[in-house]
Amino acid sequence: MPLPPQSTPPPITAPAPSGAEALEALLEAFDWGHPLPLRPKLKGQAALTYEWLRRAATFDPTGALPVSPFLSGRERREAEALRRLPTVPRAQLTASMKALSPREAGTALALWRWGQAQVRAGAFDRDLRQVWEDQLLSAGPALTRGYALRHALCWALAEQDEARFARLRPTADPASEAVHQTFQGLFGLLGGPSPTLRLWALPGLAYRDLSLKKLGGRIWVCPLEEGPVPTLPSGTAWIIPSASGALDERDASLPEPLLAEGRALAQRLQLSGATASFAASRPAFERIGLLWFPILIELDSKGGIRSIRMGDAAPDRP
């Protein structure tokens, strides 16, 4: 007798993510600059919490804060307190900021993105900026707490504020402690001799070990982005870090694909008449703490490091 036909097994589908898993996936995509995941099938309060985070990740931080999806309760009050901040009179803004403790991930992310835009526009003075950083450091997901710590440390370094730096020392967080130690090394560079780095001249790709003082009194460390090659102010030397930074800092020759990367940069610079130096080793920068671009380093008349403005505290242009 013939065997009975086999039925087709049902397709295997992954279980729907929990609310916490969906929030984590959205935050991870935002952090990496990837497209946000599709909205998961969530219900009730979990769906509202997710929607608030998604709105926080996608609104224009130079415009109005996102509309709250919450209809009532603590979450609604928290979201509305955030949304009122742009309309609060300047004399009352510090108190309103201190009263906002962002328990929702969406509130923390929206506060981060809005406040970051305010700092860049020069709308926050030093005291208000520190209050904003402290609120983000005190609550919210690990991602926004990490953003706030980096921001606060970059500004403490730029302002050479050792008291602020000491107050930012984390407790019981190995990852944050490592970041703090990096900045401690950078504080140690201030007033001291400029470090020596292995660089390749662009457009010629000639190798040389150079103390930064050999480049001049003002050094701009920033990748070359797409679009027109920028014109740097007179007296400003440009170091372009490699996209991969894969070279060992002791190596004196460029293997492929670093050689191809250097040649592509050289061609773009040659067409625009610009010059720069190519830094192929990420470990060389990490060793001295230069981690977040752009970086503006200014030297004194003797070649010592007068100031370091890095990452969040660096100007948009050299």
Report all structural domains of the chain as residue ranges with CATH numbers, in order of start. 19-189 (no CATH), 196-313 (3.40.30)
For residue 141, count other CB atoms closer than 10 A to its CB.
Answer: 18
pLDDT of 81-133, one tens digit each?
999 999 999 999 999 999 998 999 999 999 999 999 999 999 999 999 999 99
- Kindly report the CA angle at 273 between 272 and 277, in degrees rounded to 5? 100
pLDDT of 271-287, one tens digit each?
888 999 999 988 888 88
Quote the distance between the C-alpha of residue 105 and its chain's center.
18
Measure the CA–CA gap between 213 and 195, rounded to whole angstroms.
Answer: 8
Structure tokens at 9: 């097994």
For residue 98, count other CB atoms closer than 10 A to its CB.
Answer: 12
Structure tokens at 19: 């609310």
Tokens 């004196």, located at residue: 252
pLDDT of 170-201, one tens digit each?
766 777 888 888 899 999 999 999 999 999 99
Structure tokens at 316: 């948009």
Among 294, 286, 297, which residue's Cα sits nearest to residue 183?
286
